[in-house]
């Protein structure tokens, strides 16, 4: 649509001005002038925080509001989720949170602890916080793709291969498509021998996706690499090929 010069209809009068500005930047006819996804995520998070702050202020000052100021949760701009965190004295190591809470279906408790550990930039906690937000299927945690990508990106910058893949996958499959970012992080995850990234590369060459030509040799190479590094779906695909 953007390539053909078509643009969405005018925004509503309630649309934040900052949002209109970044949307207009993102649909610039010259793709080189369009902002990268990490910048967009940062700006969208700022807009969201400002809107929430404005809403909280309105609720506090409204004489008809049934909620007293002391009962309203005041979110800081750097709050990382929407589930109250446990106190630091109750925090478990990430591996124990996974085994004792996540693996036993205690998702809300797990998320609360992942979220708090993520504030200390623990790569694995960042990954799981992003995973919960991206999937939106764990307990009462609602899907929030923008925040999920932020967590994946932060975790990826700490070297977490799974987060590099998740960020790449999200960039390449939408809803916030960014080819350059996606391919860049996919390559980084492949370099770390992440099995999911290697399998995704095999499928790109199998189907000729994202501008890459069909290449059976590369498809089989990355399929074997993915299987070697533990991808069960790659192992099944290889078994079928060998039949």
List of domains in the chain: 90-187 (1.25.40.10), 193-243 (no CATH)
Question: pTM value?
Answer: 0.64
Question: Can you tell me the distance from the alpha carbon of 180 to that of 27, in angstroms, rounded to the nearest whole number?
Answer: 16
Which structure tokens are listed for 135?
Answer: 């999937």
- DSSP H helical ranges for the chain: 17-26, 37-61, 94-100, 107-118, 123-135, 145-157, 161-173, 179-191, 195-207, 216-228, 232-241
How far is it, in rounded angstroms, from Cα 10 to Cα 20? 9
Tell me the pLDDT tens digit for each residue of 107-161.
Answer: 999 999 999 999 999 999 999 999 999 999 999 999 998 899 999 999 999 999 9
Q: Write down the pLDDT at residue 8.
A: 62
Q: Which of 79-88, 165-174, 225-234 has the lowest mean pLDDT?
A: 79-88
Spell out the residues 6+ positions from residue 36 whose beta carbon is closer than 8 angstroms to its own: 178, 180, 181
Tens digits of per-residue pLDDT, 23-55? 777 777 777 777 877 777 777 776 765 555 444
């Amino acid at each position: 649509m953007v390539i053909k010069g078509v643009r969405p209809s005018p925004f509503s009068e309630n649309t934040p001005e900052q949002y209109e500005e970044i949307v207009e930047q993102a649909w610039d006819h010259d793709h080189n002038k369009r902002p990268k996804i990490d910048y967009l995520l940062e700006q969208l998070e700022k807009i969201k925080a400002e809107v929430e702050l404005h809403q909280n202020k309105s609720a506090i000052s409204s004489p008809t509001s049934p909620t007293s100021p002391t009962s309203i949760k005041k979110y800081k701009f750097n709050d990382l989720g929407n589930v109250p965190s446990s106190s630091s004295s109750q925090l478990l190591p990430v591996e124990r949170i996974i085994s004792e809470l996540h693996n036993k279906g205690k998702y809300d408790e797990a998320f609360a602890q992942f979220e708090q550990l993520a504030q200390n930039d623990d790569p694995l906690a960042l990954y799981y916080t992003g995973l919960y937000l991206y999937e939106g299927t764990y307990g009462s945690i609602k899907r929030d793709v923008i925040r999920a990508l932020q967590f994946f990106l932060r975790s990826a910058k700490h070297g977490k291969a799974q987060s590099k893949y998740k960020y790449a996958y999200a960039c390449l499959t939408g809803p916030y498509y960014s080819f350059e970012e996606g391919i860049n992080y996919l390559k980084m995850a492949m370099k770390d021998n992440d099995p999911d990234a290697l399998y995704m590369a095999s499928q790109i060459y199998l189907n000729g996706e994202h501008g890459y030509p069909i290449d059976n040799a590369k498809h089989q190479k990355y399929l074997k690499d993915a299987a070697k590094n533990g991808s069960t779906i790659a192992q099944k695909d290889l078994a079928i090929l060998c039949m």
